[in-house]
Structure 1
Amino acid sequence: MIDFDPRSVYEAAAGDFSDARSTLYPYANERVLDGLRIRPNDQIFDAGCGAGDMAVLAAGLVGEGGSVLGVDIAPSMVRLARERARKAGVTHARFLVGDFEYMALEPESFDVVVCSFGIFFAKDVDATLRKLWRLLRPGGRLALTTVGRNFFSPVSGVFMDIAQSRLAALSIPQPWKITEDLADLRITATRAGLHSPCLEHEDYLVRLEDVSDWWRIIQGSGLRAITMLMDTKTLGEVRTTTEAWMREHDIRALTFGINYLFAEKLTRQRENEQ
């Protein structure tokens, strides 16, 4: 199987990603921000910030006394995030191009760390989560989201089956599968030293106004990596066949499963008491 290159995939997917996430499945942002209990003046690190939707919302919660630093590996995503902040009048959010797995940031320099649909791209998930945890000050909060078992089902599975039927040697890179199971995610969190993490799973219905909406989702997600492996003719055949299957089975919504992880770092007093 070929390696999944998040930089090239999301550089290509940036526009579709921003469009699909803001219009078709914006709920993850709301759940994460609510669970983080963000306060005025908080300093926030958004690891894998994408097009900046979460970061800009968080900036509104911390106020001018707080700050948000968003980092993403894809330059096009960072450009979209900066433009989103500019349009929202947000001046206390910065966005940088970089790989959060390897960035040198000062330990205990943030009150909140969030990584939304990004931790599974790390070469070493345990070490990267441990690093993100170290960035938190005592009393700081961390949130992760990962893709659950239902990843735009049932269409994603049908799409991949049809793609492989056209190209038998087509490899299907799916790095998100390493964190799709809540039990495995809890083990990863424990190895990284997170204190009493709270894990939840929710399935959401992504309603499709038109059968073509599924293509916007595919092109704006990690599944775009599969489309990038096909030539134009094959890709057209796969899309047409998939949409015919959707019409035949009257598919009007997709199920998107999301795993949520929340953890709070002990204050030094509470740590000494334990």
Structure 2
Amino acid sequence: MSSQKEEMLTRAKTVFNAASDYFDAPALSFWNRYGQQTIDQLSLRPGAQVLDVCCGSGASAIPAAIRVGPTGHIMGVDLAESLLELARQKSQAKGLKNIEFRCGDFENLGLPDGCFDAVVCVFGIFFVPDMEAAVQELWRMVRPGGKLAITSWGEKVFEPANQAFWEVLAAERPDLAKTVTPWERIRHSDTLQALLEAGGATQVQVLSHIGSHKLTAAEDWWTMVLGGGLRGIVNQLNSAEWEQVRQANLDFLQSNQIQALEVDVLYAIAEKIRNLT
């Protein structure tokens, strides 16, 4: 494993293990919404075998398990054991016996070619440095006639709160201010489609969804910060900086009377051509 990949995976694991305490908070209901919508694109049949990588706490894996029924099987894979434990608890509470969760790197599962009817990756493909190689690996495990679903963020991701967060952070801790977010490499329909095709995927279609996420209170935004990828940033702040950044974020939302955030999501679906022989 390259040092760059090892560093990125270690960072993602650390961030999302830390974020697990807020990951399933009501303010982060979008995980379940976009996970469900990803599965809805696949038209899974009873008995289907599904791999869900970067599965988090089961936002797409659990709906998939319900869809395929007791004769089907779901394998969820993630780096963050804390999120996987949440997923196990939720699936057990629903009485699902057709789902398992494994901790590991999805690029090194060692599974045979064409062993799944569908492979799913929701908001995770951008965490690997070589996304093309990652797509190739996922596509390899899709059987003929099966589908690959990759969901990613579009141009607007919880705006204007997200931009305000980075502006406040730059004023308080310029050393932590971003240069680029991982998903910006594939934030347009054409670049996401090109990625899948470069990874060997066929019959690729990308659906762009422009929507919003409602806030019940300004504090919801800070809960979202703590329950997502920004947790890795705020955890580097001391207590005074933390409170300064938090309060400035809340002040911005309250003074501008922001009750909903703009969010764009891209759903890419590829279908593997069946063998004609």
TM-score, normalization by structure 2: 0.92
CA contact (8 A) 1:13 1:224 kept: yes
| 1:21 CA drift (Å) | 7.1
| 1:102 CA drift (Å) | 2.5
Q: Structure 1 residue 29 and structure 2 residue 31: aligned?
A: no
**Structure-2 residue corresponding to 1:195:** 202
CA contact (8 A) 2:209 2:266 kept: yes
Which letter does structure 2 place at the counterpart of 1:207? K
1:204–1:20 Cα change, 3 Å = farther
Q: Structure 1 residue 267 and structure 2 residue 255: aligned?
A: no
| 1:53 CA drift (Å) | 2.4
Counterparts of 1:26 and 1:65, CA distance in 2: 23
CA contact (8 A) 1:20 1:216 kept: no
| 1:24 CA drift (Å) | 4.6
The more displaced of 98-107 and 169-178 is: 169-178
CA contact (8 A) 2:169 2:177 kept: no
Match of 2:241 among 231, 234, 239: 234
**Structure-1 residue corresponding to 2:172:** 166
Match of 1:252 among 250, 259, 265: 259
CA contact (8 A) 1:20 1:220 kept: no
Unmatched segments (≥5 aa) in structure 2: none
Q: Structure 1 residue 111 and structure 2 residue 117: aligned?
A: yes
Match of 1:185 among 182, 189, 192: 192
| 1:26 CA drift (Å) | 3.1
Which letter does structure 1 place at the counterpart of 2:21? G
Q: Which runs of 4+ in 1 moved over 6 A?
A: none
- For 1:153-195, what per-residue CA distance to the aligned partner results, in whole angstroms no more than 9, with x for missing partners? 0001111110110112224262122221222112111111111
Which letter does structure 2 place at the counterpart of 1:58? A
CA contact (8 A) 2:51 2:76 kept: yes
| Counterpart mapping for 1:38-187 below 5 A | 38-172=44-178, 174-187=181-194
CA contact (8 A) 2:50 2:119 kept: yes
Counterparts of 1:101 and 1:146, CA distance in 2: 18
The more displaced of 169-178 and 200-209 is: 169-178
Match of 1:221 among 228, 237, 258: 228
The more displaced of 107-116 and 242-251 is: 242-251
Counterparts of 1:225 and 1:253, CA distance in 2: 24
TM-score, normalization by structure 1: 0.93
Which letter does structure 2 place at the counterpart of 1:122? V
Counterparts of 2:253 and 2:206, CA distance in 1: 33
- For 1:37-66, what per-residue CA distance to the aligned partner results, in whole angstroms no more than 9, with x for missing partners? 100000000011100121111111111111
Counterparts of 2:62 and 2:213, CA distance in 1: 23
The percentage of aligned residue pairs carrying the same residue is: 31
The more displaced of 64-73 and 182-191 is: 182-191
CA contact (8 A) 1:10 1:77 kept: yes
Counterparts of 1:103 and 1:49, CA distance in 2: 14
Which letter does structure 1 place at the counterpart of 2:191? D
Which letter does structure 1 place at the counterpart of 2:267? Y
CA contact (8 A) 2:53 2:106 kept: yes
CA contact (8 A) 1:24 1:207 kept: no
CA contact (8 A) 1:53 1:84 kept: no
RMSD of aligned alpha carbons = 1.7
Unmatched segments (≥5 aa) in structure 1: none
